[in-house]
Structure formats: C-alpha cells, structure tokens
A and B are shown apart, each in its own frame.
Chain A
Amino acid sequence: MTTDRIVGIDLGTTNSLVAFMQGESPVVIPGEDGLNLVPSVVALDENNQPVIGSSARRYLIETPERAVYSVKRLMGRGVEDVQEELKLFPFRLADDLQPGEVLRIKLGDKTFTPPEISALILRQLKRNAERHFGGPVSKAVITVPAYFNDAQRQATKDAGRIAGLEVLRLVNEPTAASLAYGLDQKQNGIIAVYDLGGGTFDISILKLHDGIFEVIATNGDTHLGGDDIDNLLITIALDDIRGDMNLDLRRNAEAVQAIRKSVIEAKIALSSQASAKLDVELRGGRRYQREVTREQFEQLIQPIIDRTVGPCKQAMKDAGLKPEQIDEAVLVGGSTRIPKVRALVKELFQREPHSDLNPDEVVALGAAVQANILGGGSVATENMLLLDVTPLSLGIEVAGGVTDKIILRNSTIPASATQFYTTQIDGQANVAMCPRASSAAARKRKSKYSPATASPTSRSRA
C-alpha cells in the first residue's frame, strides 16, 4: 500500500504484539530478539534508561524496585480503585499521591503514570515495526478489553499519543480476534469469543453475515485473568514456606518474584503434563520444592475460572440466545491453554471450542485486519465491516444520585440519545452534567466527569 502504514497493536497485560497486513494476510512483526511477543514489562537500568520486554524481565528478580509488570491493571484508575491490586501486585505508588490524582508508579527514584509506562511498551513495538519496514510508523489501531470503561480507554489513547502514535481506533479484543478468524473462514453464523488473558476476561457474541461482524452482546471482568491464578499459587507457596521453613517472605520482593517465575512455569507445564514441580532457590542456600498435580491445580483454580461463567450467561441472555444457537466458540488469550478452561467453555457453549489460531497472537492479527479496513481495505478485507457495541450502559445522573440510563449496554455504536430534563428549582441557571457508565460490576464507578452548563430557556414546573 502506498498510503501510511497502519499497524495493529495488542497492548496486553502480560505480552504485547504489533502486526500488520502483509498482502492478504495479517502477520506479527517480531522484535530484534526474533520473538513475536514483547513481555509487557518495563524496567529502569543502572543509568535510569528504560528497558522494555524480555530484557526487562531479569530486573523483576534482580532489582524488583526498578521494574513493573501488568501495568494494564492500573490504566484509567484512581488510587481508591486499586487498593485490592496493591495487596496482590508489587506496584509501588508515589508517596505524595493525592486522592483523585492520576496514579504514579515508582521505578527506582523516578515516577511514571500508567499511560507513560504503557507508552514505553508501545514505543518499543513502534520501533520493531519501523525496523521491519525500514520507515516511519505513526498510525495504529490498538486493542482494549471489550469491558474497559471510558477512563481505561482514554488512558490507552493517551499512551498511544505519548508514544507518538495516532490511534485511529481502539478495537475490542474479542472483536479483533473474530476478525482474524473470520478472514479465512468466511462463514455466516453466531460465534462466541471467550477471551481469558493475563489480566482481563471478555466474552463477546457476534453475528457474522457476509463480511459484517455484528457484536450482539459483550460482557466481562477487567480484573480477571492468568495473573489471578499466579497470585493464588504464590500465596500458597508463601504459606508453605512460612509453615514448613518458618520463613516469612511476603515482604521480600525478590523472593516473591522468584516464586512467581516458578509458579508461572509450573502453570504452563501443567497444561501439557500431569504434574509439575515448583522449585525456588531461596537465600542462604535453602530451597522450596513442591510437586503439584494437575488435579490439585484444577481444584485450586476452579473458583477463579468459575468467575467467567456469570458474564458468559449474562451475554447469552442479553443476546437472547441459548447455547445450542451458538455455531462456534473461539478461544483467545494465553489462559485458554489451560485444559480446565477449555472444558468449561465446552460445557458453557455445548461444543468443542476452536483454537486454530495462536491464542496469544490472534488479537494482534485482528487489529491488523481492522487497520487494513481503515486504510481503505484490500481484496481480503473488501467486504468486511465491524459493528461493535458499548459494553456498559451510559446515562446521566439525575436528582437523588440516580443514573438515568439513556444508552443501554450492547447498543451498536456509534449511538446517540436525546433526553429532556427539567431543572430542579425555579430560576436555576446552570446544570451540572454528570455522565456515568453503569453495569453490575461498575455501578459505583464514575465515568469521566465532563461538567457542562446550560441555560434553561423555560422555567421548571418543579
């Protein structure tokens, strides 16, 4: 294509990728190390220079106070929203944070906002793409969890801007995945995309019709993923160590990171083996070892993966569909490699789920397809069009703090709504407009506040 190159980026909790449309098929652009996945890890080296990706990993263990991972969990959130995360993740917030202020995370003696850290990852992906093309890349489509709210989306856009990328669209991750699947299958029907990643879970139900990808319902949990499994195993290991060796390592960041590395390896091994060994070298030549069978592992993670059931059922209900009406179920996200997760999906949708495309790469590939559509399309994407929805109901706060929903969740976007309100008291000259996003999970969360004033022309009837 002669026009600007538009790349597709999957900015993931655990790994990030950049892809583009090469001829008629999307491909992932590898980094200098030859690997497609760039771990979403950022560290500062001895000279305070940022290190990103695989090379930043060793800092997690050697100098954990100079490294950060899973920063996606903090995107668009305030200090009051992240108390739970702080208990489970070694995020070190700046000491002088005021309530309501944008979060800042300490790396060494410097501080960064979550979008700034994400921007460092994006910049690395941009560099990888530029190296591949031998020319500048300035436009991108970035994917976000379908269930991200407005503030989380805005933070992602900010990250793009800081990285020097014009973000043409934010595309929902499960929808992007469906584009990658739909590209070579060209079938019509209803598909369910089950996307369990490192930190987020989405379920989307789409209707495919001659190249139109119409999302009918979406649901999810922006704080549910492989991270939760890791944290659970870490907690168990720490308890073991405390009980058996009389050693409390909960505050020892280096030891926790070493345990984390070991549990992740065991988790991955357990997807293909009947048992795996946790093996962590501790200070003073001591060693923590434990055999974990797949059966034990599956029992442990059951409560976590069961949390995906509610959103799936709600999405089916919202779509007005029964499991037998779903034609295909598609698996996306690294955590869907776990056999127990696959079994759950099979049970939910009453069919064997698909995982023909690499679940780690499919979202980025789909983002590249959408980038191609926005760039004017090609033979492969000629008839393709994505019709997505708003995952959360949008409303206006009215008297008494009640939210009057004016755009219901799962409405195809763009959407608009007009609602007439009267002033509360006679002679009132200003109205504060307070838009809110609401869902069962996000009922208390306030959408981005945009104050507005209006001069009512007529007097209220009170």
Chain B
Amino acid sequence: MSKSTVSTIAAARTHDAAESCWSCGAMRVAQFCGACGKVQPPAPVDYFSFFGLPPKLNLDVATLEKEFYELSRKLHPDLNARAGSKEQEWSLEQSSRLNDAYRTLKDPIKRTQYLLHLEGVQLEEQSKSATEKARATGEVKKQIVPPDLLEEVFELNMQLEELRMEKKTGEDDPALIAEIEKHKAALEQKYEALFQELQSYWKSWDGLIEREQAGQAVPAGERKQALDKMVDVLNRRNYIRNLVRDVNEALEGSS
C-alpha cells in the first residue's frame, strides 16, 4: 500500500511532464503551460506533487508561500476571467486544488496527517466534531489514555469531578483551582514537547524518502515503524488537547 502510493505519485508526475499544452502544443509544467501560460486541465496528483515536492515532512514554509503566490498568479480565476469557459473551469479547479494543498502543507500537523492519509493510515478521530458526533449518536468514542499520563489523568479527573461538585453547591476552593491550573500547565508543556518529538520522527521519515530517491530499497517494516511513531505522537497530542479543553470547560467561571 505505502510503496504503491509513492510510485503512483512518481507516475503522475512523469505523466504530467510528458503532456503537451492543449493550446500551443509546447511541453508544459503541471498546472500551466511553460510556453504560453495557459491553465491546463487538472491532473489527479497529491498535494506534495502539486507543488513539485517529494513527500517529505520537513519543508520550508517561506518557500512554500512564495511558490503558492507564484502559482496563484497563474491559476487564480480572477486572472483568467476573460479566458474561455473551459479554461475558466480549469482555473477554478486548479486554484481550489492549490489552496487546499497550501492550507494542508503549510500547517505542520495537517501536513503530517495528510502524509499518513496518503500512506493509508487511519487516524483515530478525536476532534471536537467527532466528540460531538459521538455524544449525539450515543456511540462510545475510543479513547485510550497514553500510559505515561495514566497517573496524572486519574488525579486530574478526580479534581475536576470535585470542582464540578463544588460549582453545583456554589463553594469556592482556590487551592483546588490552583492544583488544577498546575496540572493544566504541565499538560500544556507536554503538548509542546510532543511537537518536538514529532519533528524528530519527520527526520527519520525524510531520511527514508531520501534513501528511496537515491534508489535504495527501504524495508517495509522500517517504513511502518516511522509511520507508527508519528501516529502515536498525534494520538497522544490529541488526547492532551481534549483533556486541556475539558479542564478549561470545568474552570470556566470559577477563576
């Protein structure tokens, strides 16, 4: 699965480069013709390939932005408003593809999630909408407490329960609130640290892609390991984010 994704990307890119412009017949780059500048029909490529990038996670956002602006100047519907109706349609599709790709790749977390998605990994959904959906439909949401947090979460949940009870009876306990705030600060620190950890896994993933690009074979197990580590970090990160949200909800109006 994972192997084939990359080869599809490669195939799509060669396919693109081999095509010629519908308007002037010259060889074209992916989205517009290098010779006459006309917008081309969209090709089904992933977001990395759209920007002509390898599927690596460490990327320079300033360069990406520059590229985004340059491509916008070619593809945006406002600049193709006087073109034929087909071209206008392609310009709309290409431009929305460009915006989607840029929005996804410029954000480090969305970029990682997208790569995982390309690699066929299903992420545990712990977003707010998933939580709401679960509440509405009565489904039990899968929520695994990361082992390193077990003790802390247990204690915190007790305190949150206490706080909710006190809120109902109108009591005020500054010491309890201070305790909870302390936990919250620790969680937020962990949350930040997890991002550093994620970046270290990006490095191993990118190294692996570089080896592949150099024609070396990468064992499937190694690939899976790199992906699994990222999934694990993202899940832990989501868990903490939700926990902090619960804490904030509980604290609302008490401090």
Are A and B subunits of one complex? Answer: yes
Instruction: Name A's B-contacting residues (CB within 8 A).
Output: 3, 168-169, 209-210, 212, 370, 373-376, 385-387, 398-405, 411-417
Report which of B82, B92, B136 forms a contact with A375, defined as CB distance below 8 A.
Answer: B82
Known: A387-B72, A400-B136, A402-B132. A414 touches B95 (CB 8 A): yes
Decide if A415 touches B81 in the complex (CB within 8 Å).
no
Q: Which residue in A210, A386, A415 is a CB contact (below 8 Å) of B78?
A: A386
Chain B residues with a Cβ closer than 8 Å to the other chain, count: 22
Complex Cα gap A412–B98 (Å): 10
Cβ contact within 8 Å between B99 and A413: yes
Pairs A-B, 7 closest by C-beta atoms: A400-B136, A414-B96, A412-B99, A374-B81, A416-B96, A402-B136, A400-B137
Q: Of B95, B97, B133, which is within 8 A of A402 by CB?
A: B133
What are the residues of chain A within 8 A of B76 when measuring CB–CB? 385, 387
Chain A residue with the shortest CB-CB distance to B81:
A374
Once A385-B73, A412-B102 are accepted as A-B contacts, the answer to whether A402 and B129 lie under 8 Å apart by CB is yes
* A387-B72, A399-B136, A402-B136 known; A416 vs B97 contact (CB < 8 Å): yes
**B85 → A minimal CB distance (Å):** 14
Q: Determine whether the beta carbon of A373 is less than 8 Å from that of B79.
A: yes
How far apart are B120's CB and chain A's nearest CB, in angstroms?
A: 14
Verify if B77 is at the interface (C-beta below 8 Å from A).
Answer: yes
Question: Apart from A399-B136, A399-B137, what are 11 other A-B pairs with CB-CB below 8 Å?
Answer: A212-B72, A370-B78, A385-B72, A385-B73, A400-B136, A402-B133, A411-B99, A413-B99, A414-B92, A414-B99, A415-B103
- Contact B69 A209, beta carbon cutoff 8 Å: yes
Given contacts A168-B81, A386-B78, contact A416 B100 (CB under 8 A): yes
Those of B113-159 within 8 Å (CB) of chain A: 129, 132-133, 136-137
23 inter-chain pairs at a CB distance below 8 angstroms, sorted by A residue, are A212-B69, A373-B79, A374-B81, A375-B81, A375-B82, A385-B73, A386-B78, A398-B133, A399-B133, A399-B137, A400-B133, A402-B133, A404-B129, A404-B133, A412-B103, A414-B77, A414-B99, A415-B99, A415-B100, A415-B103, A416-B97, A416-B100, A417-B100
Q: For residue A398, which residues in chain B have a CB less than 8 angstroms away from its CB?
A: 133
Identify whether the interface residues of A are mostly helix, strand, loop, or mixed.
mixed
Contacts of A405 in B (CB 8 A): 129
Most buried by B among A374, A414, A415, A416: A414
A374 to B76, CA, bound (A): 11
CA A167 to CA B40, docked complex, whole Å: 26
Instruction: Summarize B's interface: helix, strand, loop or mixed.
Output: helix
| Residues in A whose Cβ lies below 8 Å from that of B96 | 413-416
A376's nearest neighbour on chain B, judged by CB, is B82
Q: Give the residues in chain B near A417, CB-CB below 8 Å.
A: 100
Q: Across the interface, which residues of A come within 8 angstroms of B82, CB to CB? A: 3, 374-376
> Least Cβ distance of B224 to chain A in Å?
24
Contacts of A374 in B (CB 8 A): 78, 81-82
Determine the distance from Cα of A416 to Cα of B97 in the docked complex, in whole angstroms.
7
| Residues of chain A with a CB closer than 8 A to B81's CB | 168, 374-375
Chain A residues near B78: list those with CB within 8 A. Answer: 169, 370, 373-374, 385-386
Min C-beta distance of B154 to chain A, whole Å? 30
User: What's the nearest-Cβ distance from chain B to residue A435, in Å?
Assistant: 15
Contacts of A373 in B (CB 8 A): 78-79
Query: Are B136 and A401 in contact (CB-based, < 8 A)?
Result: yes
Question: What are the residues of chain A within 8 A of B73 when measuring CB–CB?
Answer: 212, 385
| Chain B residues within 8 Å of A370, by CB | 78
Q: Which residues of chain B are near A411, meaning CB under 8 Å? A: 99, 103
Instruction: A397 to B44: give the CA distance in the assembly, Å.
Output: 28
B99: chain A residues at CB < 8 Å are: 411-415
In the bound assembly, the distance between CA atoms of A169 and B82 in angstroms comes to 13
Residues of A within 8 A of B92 (CB): 414
Interface residues of B in 39-76 (CB under 8 A from A): 69, 72-73, 76
Expressed in whole angstroms, the minimum distance between the Cβ of B45 and any Cβ of chain A is 14
Q: Hey, which chain A residues are within 8 Å of B95, CB to CB?
A: 414
> Given the complex, which residues of B lie within 8 Å of A415, measured CB to CB?
96, 99-100, 103
Counting chain A CB atoms within 10 Å of each CB, the highest count among B78, B95, B96, B137 belongs to: B78
Specify the chain B residue showing the minimal Cβ separation from A3. Answer: B82
Contacts of A416 in B (CB 8 A): 96-97, 100
Q: How far is the CB of A418 from chain B (nearest CB, A)?
A: 9
Minimum CB–CB distance for B75 against chain A, Å: 10
**B residues in contact with A414, CB < 8 Å:** 77, 92, 95-96, 99
Do residues A385 and B102 form an inter-chain contact, with CB atoms below 8 A? Answer: no
Q: Could you tell me the distance between the alpha carbons of A403 and B79 in the complex, rounded to whole angstroms?
A: 34
A21 to chain B, nearest CB (A): 15
Residue of B nearest to A212 (CB): B69
Complex contacts, A413 vs chain B, CB 8 Å: 96, 99
Inter-chain CA distance A414–B100, complex, in Å, is: 9
Contacts of A212 in B (CB 8 A): 69, 72-73
